Structure 1
Amino acid sequence: MSSEQIIQQAANWLTRLHDEDVSEAERRAFEAWCQADPRHGVAIERMRGLWGSFDTVPAQPARIALKRAFPTPRARGAQVVGLLGVLLCGWLSLEHMPVWMADQRTGVGERRQIALADGSQLQLNSNSAVDVKFDGHQRVIELLQGELWVDVAKDAQRPFVVRTNQGTATALGTRYLVKRAADGSTLVTVIESTVAVKGQASESVKVTAGQRSVVDHGRAQPPQPIGNADADAWTRGLLKVNDQPLTEVLQTLASYRHGLLRFDAAALGDMRVSGVFKLDDTSAALSALADNLPIQVEYFTDLLVVVKPR
């Protein structure tokens, strides 16, 4: 069954459960549906989370209109949950739907370490999602969004592969990072040993410790040295930069913040940064940047921050 079908079924069940005349038999059927497939329970819980967040939305015109159309909480619940499935199926495009139903995922500003069944260690960066597909022949991590770090356990009989829409990164050793960049490319950075990086439309290239390869338009580029960059500092909650463009630093900080961090890249383009910043306190990082560079940081709300030249 497709993810879209599961989401629609989940919406139908929640709609039915909000009806006053729901029977005990229907409740038992719902519990059986939840237990029939692990994905069913995941869809229900995530949809309940979205539905629950509705009551925290400020009294904006759309919410006021909804309350007027459906005066009682029960009527409003039945109608909104029914619409939720339709809206989600439209919003969750072929790109977003797998992320919403991913085996493992992190929210904005969250990092998570995961022990895999084979003994490998996986860590997800902020706003990332993966599917884990292990069988008797291979170990595959589908990186659906964001960035991961992996320390691979040895298993000569089962290759360890990280796959994105651009290609694959197969471990020939242990530790490496894979990132799906905002521009659609995939970045593979090797911390230890060697990784074979292969684009969908190219031969594989070997990337060794201290090197990085970019896979774009299905082609793996020749590896380039990363110099003294601490590429996996984020796994320790740090952003370490050495003479890096300010705009790149702001983009990284923005990926750890809820809401919007806005700036004019052209106006800030010639500014560069060196330093160490805590990713768990991006406001402190922005304050430190403002103390050391000719910029000002303006907070219009907690969800809207603007950085501009002073």
Structure 2
Amino acid sequence: MTSEQIIQQAANWLTRLHDEDVTEADHQAFHTWCDADPRHAVAIERMRGLWGSLDTLPAKPARRALNRAFAPQRARGAQAVGVLGLVLCGWFGLQHLPLWMADQRTGVGERRQIALEDGSQLQLNSNSAVDVKFDGHQRVIELLQGELWVEVAKDAQRPFVVRTDQGTATALGTRYLVKRAADGTTVVTVIESTVAVKGDSRDEVKVTAGQRAILDHGRAQPAQATGSADPDAWTRGLLKVNDQPLSDVLQALASYRHGMVRFDPQALRNLRVSGVFKLDDTGAALAALADNLPIQVEYFTDLLVVVKPR
């Protein structure tokens, strides 16, 4: 069962339990549902946590809609579930709902290293989320958002696979990165040994150290050299670039900032960057760019930065 389906079922249960005619049988069925899968209880807990957090907010439209959805006099059944679903989607965005229940996740500007049960080492980049699914036959990491680095422990009986909605990257060696890019593609970059990259088709691309391959629309594109870039520098808190478009650098820095970094890629298309920047101090990185390039960096509160040609 997918995360989205579990969240929808949790919404259905919370709606039913707040009906004025809820029965003891309903409560028993609810407890049975919670016990059937640990993810069910997690979904209920986090959804209730959202409700509790909204209690501290002013009575804005989203909160009033939730109040109406849970009030004893409110409409029942599909209408109430629809109200709750619309509020949840409006509050978080539908694409973020599965992240509630991710096994591991990081916030904006956070990196985290995780020791997996098989001895493999996993590191998540800023604002990333994964599900870990190990069994007796295979080891699967589902990358739900963001980027990961992994150093794979050898296990001849269980292949190690990183999966996204574009396809899979199966380790035939040790270290590699997988990123869900903003344009919807998946980028697989190999640091050591070889990775087999495969989309929906049967075509498989072998990617070796110093190469990367892109999964787009379920198809694996041919491997290409990464050049002189240091793709896993972020695991050490650094952004290293060599003759990269300024727009790409700004996008990378923006992923480490709360709020927005706004710019017009077309207006900055002729500007390229080489250098090393600390990801934990994006303000200093933006200042360095302004000092060395013909651009202006304007702050409209800490949550909005605008970069434009000088």
> Scaled by the length of structure 2, what TM-score is found?
0.82
Q: Is the 8 A contact 2:175 2:191 kept in 1?
A: yes
Q: Write out aligned runs for 1:214-233 (5 A).
A: 214-233=214-233
**Distance across 2 between alignment mates of 1:8 and 1:168:** 27
**Distance across 2 between alignment mates of 1:34 and 1:207:** 43
Residue number in structure 2 paired with 1:234:
234
Q: 1:6 to 1:27 in 2, by over 3 A?
A: same
CA RMSD of the aligned region, Å? 3.4
Give the letter aligned to residue 309 of structure 1: P
Q: For residues 254-281 of structure 1, give each alpha carbon's deviation from its aligned partner in whole angstroms, at most 9, with x where no partner exists.
A: 1112221101111111111111111122
**Distance across 2 between alignment mates of 1:243 and 1:167:** 30
Q: 1:3 to 1:141 in 2, by over 3 A?
A: closer
Secondary structure at the counterpart of residue 285 of structure 2 = helix
Give the letter aligned to residue 170 of structure 1: T
Residue number in structure 2 paired with 1:275:
275
**Distance across 1 between alignment mates of 2:138 and 2:223:** 25
Q: 1:261 to 1:4 in 2, by over 3 A?
A: same
Residue number in structure 2 paired with 1:287:
287
**Distance across 1 between alignment mates of 2:293 and 2:166:** 37
**Distance across 2 between alignment mates of 1:303 and 1:34:** 39
1:169 deviates by 1.0
Contiguous gaps of at least 5 residues in structure 1: none
Q: Structure 1 stretch 219-228 or stretch 169-178: which is displaced more?
A: 219-228
Residue number in structure 2 paired with 1:193:
193
Secondary structure at the counterpart of residue 268 of structure 1 = coil
1:38 matched to 2:75? The reply is: no
Secondary structure at the counterpart of residue 265 of structure 1 = coil
Residue number in structure 1 paired with 2:245:
245
**Distance across 2 between alignment mates of 1:239 and 1:30:** 48
Q: 1:89 to 1:299 in 2, by over 3 A?
A: closer
Number of residue pairs aligned between Structure 1 and Structure 2:
302
Residue number in structure 2 paired with 1:145:
145
Give the letter aligned to residue 274 of structure 1: S
1:210 deviates by 0.8
**Distance across 1 between alignment mates of 2:123 and 2:271:** 31
Q: Is the 8 A contact 2:173 2:194 kept in 1?
A: yes
Residue number in structure 1 paired with 2:303:
303
**Distance across 2 between alignment mates of 1:218 and 1:149:** 21
Secondary structure at the counterpart of residue 214 of structure 1 = strand
Q: 1:291 to 1:128 in 2, by over 3 A?
A: same
**Distance across 1 between alignment mates of 2:67 and 2:151:** 53
**Distance across 2 between alignment mates of 1:177 and 1:302:** 31
Residue number in structure 1 paired with 2:176:
176
Q: Is the 8 A contact 2:106 2:112 kept in 1?
A: yes
Q: Is the 8 A contact 1:202 1:219 kept in 2?
A: no
Give the letter aligned to residue 240 of structure 1: K
**Distance across 2 between alignment mates of 1:55 and 1:283:** 34
Q: 1:221 to 1:23 in 2, by over 3 A?
A: closer
Q: Is the 8 A contact 1:147 1:178 kept in 2?
A: yes
Residue number in structure 1 paired with 2:131:
131
Q: 1:61 to 1:136 in 2, by over 3 A?
A: closer
Residue number in structure 2 paired with 1:166:
166
**Distance across 2 between alignment mates of 1:258 and 1:296:** 20
Residue number in structure 1 paired with 2:109:
109
> Scaled by the length of structure 1, what TM-score is found?
0.82
**Distance across 1 between alignment mates of 2:262 and 2:93:** 26
1:162 deviates by 1.1
1:254 matched to 2:287? The reply is: no
Contiguous gaps of at least 5 residues in structure 2: none
Q: Is the 8 A contact 2:4 2:98 kept in 1?
A: no
**Distance across 1 between alignment mates of 2:211 and 2:67:** 59
Residue number in structure 2 paired with 1:121:
121
Q: Is the 8 A contact 2:194 2:206 kept in 1?
A: yes
**Distance across 2 between alignment mates of 1:98 and 1:234:** 25
Residue number in structure 2 paired with 1:154:
154
Give the letter aligned to residue 54 of structure 2: F
Alignment identity in percent?
Answer: 78
1:234 deviates by 0.8
1:117 deviates by 1.4
**Distance across 1 between alignment mates of 2:192 and 2:64:** 56
Q: Structure 1 stretch 46-55 or stretch 149-158: which is displaced more?
A: 46-55
1:26 deviates by 9.7
**Distance across 2 between alignment mates of 1:264 and 1:2:** 37
